Amino acid sequence: MKKTIFTLLAILFINTILFSQVEKHVTWTFDANVLNDKEVELIFKAVIDEHWHLYSPFNPPGGSRALEIIYEDTKGFKLNGKIKETPKPEEVFDEVFEKVEIFFNKEATFKQKIIVTSETDFKISGTLEGQTCLENGMCVGFEDNFEFDIKGIKKEITPDEKTEDNKIDDNKTEDKDTVVTEIPDTTQTTVNTKVDLLEKTGKTPKLVYEKSYENEQTKEEKTSLLWFFFIALGFGLTALLTPCVFPMIPMTVSFFMHSDEDKRKGKIKALVYGISIIVIYTLPIAIIIAIANIFGNDSMSADFANFLSTHWLPNIFFFIIFMVFAASFLGMFEIVLPGWLVNKTDQQSSKGGLIGVFFMAFTLVLVSFSCTGPIVGGILVQSTQGGDILKPIIGMLGFSAGVAIPFTLFAFFPSVLHKLPKSGGWLNSVKVVLGFIEIALGLKFLSVADQTYHWGILDREVYIALWVVTFFMLGLYLLGKLKFAHDSELKFLKVPRLILSIITFAFVVYLIPGLFGAPLKALSGYLPPQSTHDFDLVSMIRGEESSTLCETPKHKEDLHLPHGLQGYFDIYQAVECSKEKNKPIFIDFTGHGCVNCREMEANVWSDPRVLKILKEDYIICALYVDDKNIEIPENQWFTSTYDNKVKKTLGKQNADIQIVNFNKNSQPYYVLLDYNGTVLAEPVAYDLDANNFVEFLEKGKTEFSKRNLSK
């Protein structure tokens, strides 16, 4: 049992590695040098982080990834056939690849001459893709967009001039430190390369931005973090009423009443006591996050985080742990930390001074572990849903502050103790109530694994039925109709218990219509999706709508859209249907275990205005990033431009598309595209204001119309 406890805490702490940000170790600047009335030199300058090196575009095949310059559209210009790079790169034989590797340290400049063929001004844009590495072999892939404003020529270029200009001038003398090497000319087609980027080329589908939205924190995200802090604060205050924490109040008061005659010093010690509680709870999380950011590998962090969040093994483990804690709360057995550890800490607290105050706080944290452990675990697990690296720290700050504030006040004003209720049977009742709540919350982990792997053992009506029974039994317990091992005799029913029992039974009544398909919007984030409901009267009354899609969606047997909406679960199908219907695409990056996704669907998508726009004006494409069960045929696998790994499952492909294009790995995330892959409006995330969502959808429609796209 001791190993189980420490293993649980370790896994919960490791969850925080999930949100490491995408690393970049090279910074680019761009310039265009006009050579004459029709010739321009494009300049790409790289500043490389210390200890890292950037591979040359001419690094031999079969070695490390060479730098690629990919042009979006070649209309209006053509390459002059050669690229120059300065200074002279280093050449080192690599024993792993058995090849001479060509790379740059600190900085590098690449120059490409072009012949302008357009009579009007235009832009040259595209992507730089490549790899930076440390000497120890750790490598990070990167993608950066570039754009040049080019002036058009004054006269039309004749075919003869085009042919002549396209020749390579081998007679020119190169600079002493310049290496000139021929690169394959892949820009001779006139096909719109924006469309090509969404086709199955063996690489991550690349979308096109009008502007960069990376690393922008929306007002809603900031508000979400603030709310999460207050929610965690509330849990911390609630923990005060548990039988492991409440008895520590007299001990705290006694310590500060007799520790020092000087009131001023006593107040300082009280502050140190409260701050120590916050530090003890929060510091381990902050340290792990810092280590993850300094030494963590992005792709490994994302993969491991995805494993912890959606794989059946950790979810079943968390489910079992929550059931074990629930059994302990209900009186089946006691979970305690080793006695020697608590005793050792308690001995240190008796030394006096600020060190003694710190160990007094440490004693409080250790003694209260069996009650606060599951609450802390629940907060940390919930914090992984937000996709923000600060969320676990914010959660622990809120919880620890909720615990620390009352104890700090007791340390400041010891006389308050006389006004508090005495310890007794009511504390065990609080513990039992928490046990029932642990059972209900633990089902969420089993549900995530069930949805991700399509087991079908915990569909929505089964989940709701278990909640109905759990909270009905809780109501009976509050009325005194059920008793557990450590309960005191309940001679009469007090008003607070009566009020709580009324609230509990009212909640049960609210749940019952959900058994027949009612949406239960207030709980939408914690229940399985409506599509898993076998007996859904709402859907039966609404009836099936005739298909408005271009073809049968792939994976429709396993994946579904809410509210009877029709759409696709494959980006390529959505693009083709968008071309045929001449409609923009609504992409929903979502997940089976995404609480906020279900809340958005239940509270925002259900708005009649939103439903009307989605049904009539968009091609819907839901991309599940955490699906483990749907495998992609081998001829449709692609290699990630983010971590160079082959993506073989639908979930991994969709997650890679989101990370590569938007530098985001949190859901929900909504993107509006045209069928060329161009983003029509700034993507949005979790926001329960339906008016904002309608505005977002209308903005995409307007931008799509401006582009005057045709079939």
Distance, in Å, from the CA atom of 560 to the CA atom of 384, rounded to the nearest integer, reads 24
First to last CA, the chain: 64
Helix spans in 352-459 (H)? 353-367, 369-383, 391-412, 425-453
DSSP string, 530-575: GGG-SS-HHHHHH-PPPP-SSSPPTTTTT---GGG--EESSHHHHH
Residue 307, pLDDT score: 59
The identity of residue 521, as a single letter, is: K
Closest to 681 measured CA to CA, from 607, 584, 575, 589? 584
Output the pLDDT for position 518: 82
- Among 127-131, 452-456, 514-518, the least confident range: 452-456
The pLDDT value recorded for residue 422 is: 57
| Mean pLDDT across 341-368 | 67
The residue ranking higher by pLDDT, 71 or 504, is 504
Mean pLDDT score, 74-102: 81
Percentage of the chain beyond pLDDT 70 is: 69
Q: Is residue 170 predicted with pLDDT exceeding 60?
A: no
Max mean pLDDT among 12-21, 183-192, 288-297, 654-663 falls in 654-663
CA atoms within 13 A on the CB side of 303: 14
3-state secondary structure of 101: strand
pLDDT (tens digit per residue) in 101-138:
888 988 999 999 888 888 888 889 888 888 888 776 67
Q: Residue 225: what pLDDT? A: 72
Report the distance separating Cα 469 and Cα 466, nearest Å. 5
* Span 483-497, pLDDT tens digits: 887 787 788 888 989
Q: What is each CA distance from 394 to 231, 353, 568, in whole angstroms? A: 10, 30, 37
- Report residue 137: phi and psi, to 5°: 100, -10
**What's phi and psi for 577, nearest 5 deg?**
-70, -35
Task: Give residue-wise pLDDT tens across range 316-346.
Answer: 887 887 888 788 878 887 765 555 555 665 5
Checking if the pLDDT of 511 tops 90, the result is yes
Sorted by sequence, the CB contacts under 8 Å of residue 127 that are 6+ apart come out as: 70, 72, 143, 144, 145, 146, 206
DSSP string, 379-403: HHHHHTTS--TTHHHHHHHHHHHHH
Q: Give the H/E segment covering residue 618.
A: none
Architecture of domain 551-706: 3-Layer(aba) Sandwich (3.40)
Do domains 26-183 and 551-706 share one topology? The answer is no
What mean pLDDT do residues 260-280 have? 76
Nearest-5° Cα angle at 32, 31 to 38: 175
Say if residue 228's pLDDT is above 70: yes
- What local confidence, expressed as pLDDT, does residue 174 receive? 39
The confidence score (pLDDT) of residue 90 equals: 87
Whether 549 contacts 567, CB under 8 Å: yes
User: How confident is the model over 172-221, as pLDDT tens digits?
Assistant: 433 434 333 333 333 333 333 333 445 556 777 877 654 433 334 444 45
Q: Give Cα separations from 216 to 44, 213, 222, 662 (angstroms).
A: 26, 6, 11, 11
User: Which is more confidently placed, 564 or 479?
Assistant: 479
Average pLDDT, the chain: 75
Tokens of 346: 């308690």
Q: Is the pLDDT of residue 522 over 70?
A: yes
DSSP string, 2-49: HHHHHHHHHHHHHGGGGGPPPP--EEEEEEEEE-SSSEEEEEEEEEE-
Query: Residue 226 — very low, low, confident or very high, per pLDDT cuts 50/70/90?
Result: confident
Burial 596-626 (b: 16+ CB within 10 A, else e): bbbbbbbbbbbeeebeebbbeebbbbbbbbb
Q: What pLDDT does residue 8 have?
A: 41
Query: CA of 269: how far to CAs of 47, 65, 252, 260, 356, in Å?
Result: 51, 58, 12, 9, 10
- CA-based torsion, 642, 643, 648, 654: positive or negative: negative
Q: Are strands 179-182 and 77-86 parallel, antiparallel or unpaired?
A: antiparallel
| SS3 at position 646 | strand
Residue-level pLDDT at 289? 65
- Residue spans of the domains in the chain: they are 26-183, 222-420, 457-541, 551-706
pLDDT of residue 108: 92
Q: Where are the beta strands (DSSP E) in 557-673?
A: 567-568, 585-590, 619-624, 638-639, 646-647, 669-673
Report helix angle 460-478 to 495-511, nearest 10.
160
pLDDT of residue 670: 94
Q: Contacts by 301-305 with C-beta closer than 8 Å and gap 24+?
A: 301/17, 301/18, 301/19, 301/20, 302/18, 302/20, 302/655, 302/659, 302/665, 304/14, 304/17, 304/18, 305/15, 305/17, 305/18, 305/19, 305/384, 305/665
CB of 308 within 8 A of CB of 11? Answer: yes
Q: What is the pLDDT of residue 618?
A: 94
- Give the C-alpha separation, 454 to 464, whole Å: 18
173 three-class SS: coil
pLDDT at 9: 41
Sign of CA dihedral 192, 198, 204, 206: positive
Question: CB of 94 within 8 A of CB of 100?
Answer: yes
For range 498-513, the mean pLDDT: 94
Question: Would you list the DSSP string of 565-579?
Answer: --EESSHHHHHHHHH
Residue 39's contacts (CB-CB under 8 Å, 6 or more residues apart) are 80, 113, 114, 115, 116
Q: For residue 56, is pLDDT > 50?
A: yes
CATH hierarchy code of domain 26-183: 2.60.40
Strand 567-568 to strand 619-624: parallel, antiparallel, or no bridges (unpaired)?
Answer: parallel
Provide mean pLDDT across the span 519-523. 81
Place of tokens 């690629």: 68
- Asked if the model's pLDDT at residue 274 lies above 70, the reply is yes
In this predicted model, which residue has the larger pLDDT, 19 or 543? 543
- Tokens found for residue 677: 């892959």
List the one residue out of 141, 22, 147, 193 whose CA is nearest residue 678.
193
Dig out the tokens for 16 from the structure.
Answer: 């925080």
Q: Higher model confidence: residue 707 or residue 418?
A: 707
Q: Which residue has the higher pLDDT, 364 or 40?
A: 40
Task: Return the closest-CA partner of residue 257 out of 412, 72, 468.
Answer: 412
Q: What would the mean pLDDT of 362-380 be, rounded to a whole number?
A: 68
Q: Which two tokens stand for residue 710?
A: 């045709």
Identify the pLDDT of residue 197: 46
Phi then psi for residue 328, to 5 deg, are: -65, -45
